[in-house]
Structure 1
Amino acid sequence: MRAADADRAAVADRLRVALDEGRLDLHEYDERLQRAYAARTYADLEALLTDLPPVTPAQRSGLAPAAGPTVGLLGDQLGPAPSRGVTARWLAEVWFPYLRVIAIVVTIWAVTSLLSQDLLYFWPAWVAGPWGVVLVVRTVTGVAGGEPQRQAVKRQRRRERKQAKRASESENPHQPPDPHSHLMW
């Protein structure tokens, strides 16, 4: 299918984001940008993005012709502003258990120091230090690898499956529940 000007602009925006993220150098960005504006078909445009991580789920990509409404390549739902929220949520999921445990062990250390009326050895550092290093590495590799977006897509798919299941159950209220529905195959 032939691409429209809006499709070319969306790819140009996605390439700019990739440049800003450090995924493309300036020379490669310029070369791909020229090819994007010269592209005639969706296939020409897709070839420019194949080695870049997706911003929107593939089934809702603005490059894939669809019968229903499409979402632009930068995505109305997972574009630059919402992706900050996606990343923040992922960071909270990764770091909050650590912060809770550190708060508990520091509280235990503080209470025991108070009760002994002496400043005890700060042993919570042995919990916080190694675990913190592991979390820093996980955070850096996760953000660089697009893990927050993948998690958001998975959550969205789960939500959509639940909604579809509820809708099918409401359409067939007299059908008995499947006794094997809880089994994962």
Structure 2
Amino acid sequence: MPEPHLRAADADRAAAVTRLDQGLTDGRLTLAEYEDRAARAHTARTYGELAELTADLPRPADRPRPVARAVYGGPWHGAWGHDLRAAWAGWATTAVVVVAVWLVSVVATGDLRYPWPVWVVGPWAVALVARTIGARRRGQPGT
């Protein structure tokens, strides 16, 4: 950070408020603390004033990994920050439900000609297969 006596710009004040936002989101600040600090950040004139407001908050590089990422970010962790195992589980659950509905309608009507569940789960399966293959090509271990 530049010298504390130098004047801060609007972008510096916005960056400080962003850190305060994250502190509130992480549960490091109460709502009252956040409101007070954010108001002071908007009126801060120097880097030193901004530094005081965020001194007790971890810098973005120091922040621990989010719990969801730490727990689920294993070898099945796929593209766009999503968990491939959860994506496949969602697909399988949906497939079971729509096939069950279709089977009930087949039993009720006796008409097997139109297997409509393929239009629900088919394109989704193609997208998941492509995503899984993409994760393997990127070299994510265990995918």
Does TM, scored on the shorter chain, surpass 0.5? no
The structure whose RCO (Cα within 8 Å, separation 6+) is larger is 2
Q: What is the TM-score of this pair, normalised by structure 2?
A: 0.41
Larger Rg: 2
